[in-house]
Chains A and B, each alone.
Chain A
């Protein structure tokens, strides 16, 4: 079955620690995205990538880093510089869009990150 796999489902971070959230997709999608969701709020874009070896900052990139070495994978690292990392992290992907087509984003099941 094609889909987006995020792991782990739950993650705990200690003070001063960097943690990495995994996102893998087998949909052959070019574009991948990372969002953060806080309770009762919508999704805020952290980083996105439209193609391998290229990525762009979203609205709340500070304290996060990403890489896109393979088309299927877009891991997110939450660094110790992110002082309030507790949130629900969602990875999404979409087919690459031109100016005349519209491709929705589809989401993985998410990772819940908490501070110990």
Chain B
């Protein structure tokens, strides 16, 4: 069974700090990885995608991928109260259907 594991949290960080969210996946052939942000009662919103080993930066967000360790992370610099949400990690398989397997999410609270 393909699985994506996340620490459910809750994770609390003070405003201005770096929030670090982690994710591991079991399917070695997964090729693409996505981070979604989901505010309470709302639908998931794509914030980052990463396909190659290493770091990918977009504004205050940095995604990190290590395929050898089957590990994906998301760093949020200068965290703001508006970043408080649940963050979902998703792994896309390599088959033609390109299905996503989602983790259960990490709840992040940024304290003012």
Contacts and interface: CB of A to CB of B under 8 A. Distances in A.
Q: Do A and B bind each other?
A: yes
Interface of A: 31, 33, 35, 40-45, 48, 50, 56, 58, 90, 94, 97, 99, 102-110
Nearest to B103: A42
A102 B51 contact: yes
Interface string B47-87: 00101000000000000000000000000000000000000
A68 B49 CA distance: 28
B44 A43 contact: yes
6 nearest A-B residue pairs (beta carbon): A42-B102, A102-B32, A42-B104, A107-B43, A43-B102, A97-B98
Given A42-B88, A102-B51, A104-B34, A58 B44 contact: no
Contacts, number: 54
Interface residues on B, range: 20 to 34
A48 B92 CA distance: 14
Contact of A102 (B45, B92, B105): B92
Nearest to A105: B100
